Amino acid sequence: MIKVENLHKNFDELAALNDFSINVKSGSVYGLIGINGSGKTTALKAITGIIRPDRGDVSFDGEAVYENLRVKRRMGFIPDDLHFFGSYTLKDSAEFYRRLFPRWDNSRYREMSEIFGLPVRKRMNRFSKGMLKQAAFILTMAAKPDFLILDEPIDGLDPIVRKLVWKYIMADAAERNMSVLVSSHNLREMEGVCDTVGIVDKGRIVLERDLDELRSDIHKVQTAWSKPADGDAIAGLPNLKVLRREKSGAVEHLIIRANRELLEVKINEMRPLLFDMLPLSLEEIFIYELGGERDEIKQLLF
Q: Where are the domains of the chain?
A: 2-202, 214-301
- Asked whether residue 214 carries a pLDDT value surpassing 80, the answer given is no
pLDDT tens per residue, range 128-138: 989 999 999 99
| Largest distance between two CA atoms of the chain | 74
Say if residues 76 and 140 touch (Cβ distance below 8 Å): yes
Domains 2-202 and 214-301 share a fold: no
pTM of the model: 0.83
Q: Could you say which DSSP state residue 89 is in? A: B
Q: Predicted confidence band at 301 (pLDDT cuts at 50, 70, 90)? A: very low
Over residues 273-293, mean pLDDT: 77
Domain 214-301 has CATH 3.30.70.250: yes
CATH number of 2-202: 3.40.50.300
pLDDT tens per residue, range 41-85: 999 999 999 999 999 999 999 999 999 999 999 999 999 888 888
Give the strand order in the sheet containing 2-11. 14-24, 2-11, 55-60, 63-64
- Asked whether residue 157 carries a pLDDT value surpassing 70, the answer given is yes
Residue 254, amino acid: L
Q: Predicted confidence band at 291 (pLDDT cuts at 50, 70, 90)? A: low
